[in-house]
Amino acid sequence: MTPAFTVSLAFLSFAALHSLTISQPFKTLVSRMAGPEKFRAFYRPGFTAFSALITAAAAYAILSQPDTVLCVPPLYVSIPARTIQLAGVIILVVAFRPFDPGRFTGITQALEYIRTGRTTGDAEGMRDEKLVTGGLYGLVRHPMYLAGILIFLCEPRLTTNNLALRVLAVLYFIYGAVVEERRLVSKFGDEYREYQRRVPMFDIAAGLFRGMRG
């Protein structure tokens, strides 16, 4: 078993577990087993903790593999690439701003339940969840996924392991965006279809151009 194969297996295992635990059939099963109230209180913090655990496990498995350097680009290539990666980090941070971190991670829901025995919000304890179309979301529909693509794709140092990792990661971000699109169309209907028509999925340059024209 080559290191690149082990890296691929570790990432695919992470992706499969992450996709399973965020899927609607899994949520429905857990809600039936735990009951709607406990699901509302503990699904999101449980998912957050599990995601952190499998991310750490995958990272350990990947970083512990021996690697072979294929290419170290010159500064005139690596500096622009690192700049794009930094832009990806900034996009990721800004993309989280419209969301309540406590609700997003589920910490608020769990604390509410522990204090009062109940949790407010929708089936996952989220409040007033509306379609976000302002800020970065007015330029590109999936800024978080775009940030991940930029960070992985623009790593200038090329090795056998990170080549395998970046290909799989970029494909998984695209897959995640497609799945998210289906969920949002189902939830918001024509409002989201109109948003799809106006705002590109990943092409932030096109979004900026449309914004300037508008």
* Domain extent for 75: 68-98+134-214
The token duo for 206 is 């096109």
Q: Would 56 be classed as within a structural domain? A: no
Query: Hey, is 211 helix, strand or coil?
Result: helix
What percent of the chain lies above the pLDDT cut of 70? 94
What is the number of domains present in the chain?
1
Give the pLDDT of residue 129.
73
pTM of the model: 0.88
Query: Hey, is 73 helix, strand or coil?
Result: coil
Q: Would 214 be classed as within a structural domain? A: yes
pLDDT at 173 over 60: yes
Residue 120: pLDDT band by 50, 70, 90 thresholds? confident
Pick from 151, 202, 154, 194: nearest CA to 176: 202
Cβ atoms 182, 22 nearer than 8 A: no
Q: Would 6 be classed as within a structural domain? A: no
Q: At what angle do helices 143-153 and 160-188 cross, to 10 degrees?
A: 170
pLDDT in tens, 8-26: 999 999 999 999 999 999 9
Pick from 56, 142, 134, 126: nearest CA to 92: 142
Q: Would 150 be classed as within a structural domain? A: yes
Q: Would 182 be classed as within a structural domain? A: yes
Please compute the mean of the pLDDT values over residues 28-33 and round it to a whole number.
95
Pick from 157, 178, 170, 189: nearest CA to 82: 157
Q: Would 7 be classed as within a structural domain? A: no
pLDDT in tens, 56-99: 999 999 999 999 999 999 999 999 999 999 999 999 999 999 88
Q: Would 175 be classed as within a structural domain? A: yes
Q: Would 161 be classed as within a structural domain? A: yes
Beta bridge partners of 69: 159
Question: What residues contact residue 19 under an 8 Å CB cut-off, 6+ apart?
Answer: 179
